[in-house]
Amino acid sequence: MKGAETTAASVDVQWLSSCGHLRLGSDAVHVWRACLDQSPLQLNNFQNTLDDDERSRARRFYFSRDRQRFIAARGILRSLLAGYLGTVPNSISFIYGTHGKPALAAECGADAIQFNLAHSHGTALYALTRGRGIGVDLEFIRCDLKVEQIAGQFFSHSEIIALGALPPSVREYAFFLCWTRKEAYIKARGEGLSIPLDQFDVSLIPGEPAALLNTQPDSDEAFRWSLLNLTPACGYAAALAVEGRDWTPSFWQWPRHVIER
Ligand SMILES: CC(C)(COP(=O)(O)OP(=O)(O)OC[C@H]1O[C@@H](n2cnc3c(N)ncnc32)[C@H](O)[C@@H]1OP(=O)(O)O)[C@@H](O)C(=O)NCCC(=O)NCCS
C-alpha cells in the first residue's frame, strides 16, 4: 500500500466528491462512503435498478427503515459499479460465493472489479479494486455491549490479553477496532465464519497501524493481506482488508448526501 493514508493514526482523510468518469487503476483501491437514508424519489429510482432476488430480499425486511436502507445500499452499489464499468445500474448481475459474498457475474466482466460493502446505522462503505481480494467492515460504536465478554468468546488469546491491558476508557473503542479488522479480513477472504476467529490476530491498540499480525495454520496469510483503519464518521469504527501491499487508497463521498454525525 502506498500513500500517506497508511496508518491508523493518519487515516482521518478527506472524503472527496466525485465528478466525471470513474476510473479504477490496477493498484488503486477506492472506498466510498454513503448515507443510506435517501429521499423517497431516490429510493424509487434505486428500487427500479434492483433484480428479482434483491427485491424479494427487500420485501422480507420487517421494518420499513431496514428495507429502505437495503434498497439504498444495493442501489448505490449498482450505480457505483455501473459508473466504473460504463454501463447502466440495472444491467449489473451478481453471483454469490458459498458463504454469501457477492461478486460481479461473468457477463459483467467478473474479473473487472472486486468489491465489498458494509453497512451500519444508516451509513455504508463500499470498497472497490481490480484483481485482488477485498473486504470492508463498518460498525457503529455501541456503548451497551459487554466487550470483555464478547472478546472472550470471539477474539484470539493475544487479542484478549492486549484488550485487557488497555485502560478501561479506551477498551470499548479498541474492541471495535479489533472487531472491524477481523471482520474485514474474513470478508476479504469470503469464507465467512468457516475461518475460526481465534486463529488469527489483528492489532487493536488505538493510534497504532491496523495490521494482520499472525495467521494460523498458514502463517503466510499474514503477509498476503494488508489492513487499513478507516474513520468514516464520528461514532463509527471501520477497516479495510486488501490482498497485497502495492495499492493506494482514495476516499470518496457518495454525492447526494454529506454525512454529519
Ligand atoms: C455476513 C457477514 C459477511 C457480515 O455481516 P454483517 O457484519 O452483519 O454485515 P456487513 O454490513 O459487514 O456486510 C454485509 C454485506 O457483506 C456482503 N457479504 C455477505 N456475505 C459475505 C461474505 N461471506 N464475505 C464477504 N462479504 C459478504 C454483502 O454484500 C452484505 O451486504 P448485503 O446486505 O448487500 O447483502 C458475515 O461475516 C458474518 O455474519 N459475520 C459474523 C459476525 C461476527 O461474528 N463477527 C465477529 C468479528 S470478531
Domain membership of residue 261 (yes or no) is no
Query: pLDDT (tens digit, 9 = 90+) per residue, 123-153?
Result: 999 999 999 999 999 999 988 889 999 999 9
pTM: 0.92
Looking at the predicted structure, is the pLDDT value of residue 63 above 60? yes
Name the 3-class secondary structure at 236: strand
**Type of residue numbered 259:** I
- Domains in the chain: how many in total? 1
Report the alpha-carbon distance of residue 228 to residue 208 in Å, rounded: 11
How does residue 106 score in pLDDT terms, banded at 50, 70 and 90? confident
Q: Is 182 exposed, middle or buried (0-12, 13-18, 19+ CB in 10 A)?
A: buried
**Parent domain of 58:** 8-253
pLDDT at residue number 26: 87
Domain membership of residue 208 (yes or no) is yes
Count CB neighbours of 126 within 10 A.
22
Report the alpha-carbon distance of residue 18 to residue 120 in Å, rounded: 23
151 lines ligand 1 (CB under 6 A): no
102 and 54 Cβ atoms separated by less than 8 Å? no
Domain membership of residue 63 (yes or no) is yes
Residue in 95, 117, 134, 212 to alter for ligand 1 test, most ligand atoms within 8 A of Cβ: 117
Domain membership of residue 3 (yes or no) is no
pLDDT at residue number 19: 67
Cell of 225: 493481506
Work out which ligand 1 atom sits closest to the CA atom of 77: 34
183 lines ligand 1 (CB under 6 A): yes
Cell of 135: 473486504
What does pLDDT average to over the chain? Answer: 90
Query: pLDDT (tens digit, 9 = 90+) per residue, 153-176?
Result: 999 999 999 999 999 999 999 999
What string of DSSP letters covers 205-252? Answer: STTSPP-EEEESS-TTHHHHEEEEEE--STTEEEEEEEESS--EEEEE
117 lines ligand 1 (CB under 6 A): yes
Output the domain CATH number for residue 159: 3.90.470.20
Domain membership of residue 1 (yes or no) is no
99 lines ligand 1 (CB under 6 A): yes
Domain membership of residue 209 (yes or no) is yes
117 alpha carbon to ligand 1 midpoint, in Å? 8
Report the candidate in 228, 221, 254 with the shortest Cα–Cα distance to residue 37.
254
189 lines ligand 1 (CB under 6 A): no
134 and 127 Cβ atoms separated by less than 8 Å? yes
Domain membership of residue 212 (yes or no) is yes
pLDDT at residue number 2: 40
Looking at the predicted structure, is the pLDDT value of residue 258 above 50? no
Domain membership of residue 2 (yes or no) is no
Looking at the predicted structure, is the pLDDT value of residue 6 above 80? no
Q: What sign for the dihedral angle of Cα 197, 177, 192, 66?
A: positive
- Give how far the C-alpha of residue 97 lies from the chain's centroid of Cα atoms, to the nearest Å: 17
